[in-house]
């Protein structure tokens, strides 16, 4: 981690109390973009929570990340409607286009791919979300066009 951002940590609010590990981890992730080893150690030292317990919670819940993600988080829906409409083909097209697999981040940290159980957009199947934008009724060709738009936007060609 190149810079250590200020972590809004109120020791007196959490020391010795049960049930505050998840909010602490959420705050750490919000501050740094993911949960760093340094934050895990900091929570351990400040609250006395065993490192194994902190790591166990951080790895159990899908909301937590132990590695940085790309600028653009691609969530590929694999719910029933998307699955039967070709979600596997969409995922494969994204992986082939970006050169990384599900759960990985591109070397330039522009994209991270993540499959999810449902995005709640069944009428748009197959569907992906990139950050907060939804893209539906996709084909392999269309998803590649969507990715190119994000790549061009990152280098300033498209606004």
Note the pLDDT tens digit of each residue in 73-93. Answer: 999 999 999 999 999 999 999
The CA distance from 25 to 39, in Å, is 8
Tokens coding 133: 């934008």
Residues of the chain under the 70 pLDDT cut: 1-18, 156-159
Please give the pLDDT value at position 12.
Answer: 46
Map residue 61 onto helix, strand or coil.
Answer: coil
CB atoms within 10 A of CB 47: 19
User: Can you give the pTM of this predicted structure?
Assistant: 0.74
Please give the pLDDT value at position 132.
Answer: 93
**Which spans in 33-86 are helix H?**
37-47, 51-60, 80-84
Domains of the chain (ranges; CATH) run: 11-60 (no CATH), 72-154 (3.40.30.10)
Of all helices (H) and strands (E), which one includes residue 31? helix 21-32
Please give the pLDDT value at position 159.
Answer: 41
């Amino acid at each position: 981690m190149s810079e250590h951002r200020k972590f809004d940590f109120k020791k007196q609010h959490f020391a010795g109390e049960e049930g505050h590990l998840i909010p602490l981890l959420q705050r750490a992730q919000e501050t740094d973009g993911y949960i760093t080893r340094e934050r895990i150690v900091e929570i351990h030292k400040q609250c006395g929570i065993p490192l194994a317990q902190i790591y166990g919670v951080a790895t159990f819940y899908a909301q937590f990340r132990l590695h940085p993600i790309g600028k653009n988080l691609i969530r590929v829906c694999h719910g029933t409607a998307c699955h039967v409409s070709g979600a596997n083909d969409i995922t494969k097209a994204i992986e082939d286009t970006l050169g990384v697999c599900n759960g990985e981040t591109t070397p330039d940290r522009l994209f991270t791919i993540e499959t999810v159980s449902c995005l709640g957009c069944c009428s748009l199947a197959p569907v992906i979300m990139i950050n907060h934008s939804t893209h539906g009724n996709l084909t392999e060709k269309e998803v590649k066009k969507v990715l190119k738009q994000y790549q061009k936007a990152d280098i300033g060609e498209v606004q």
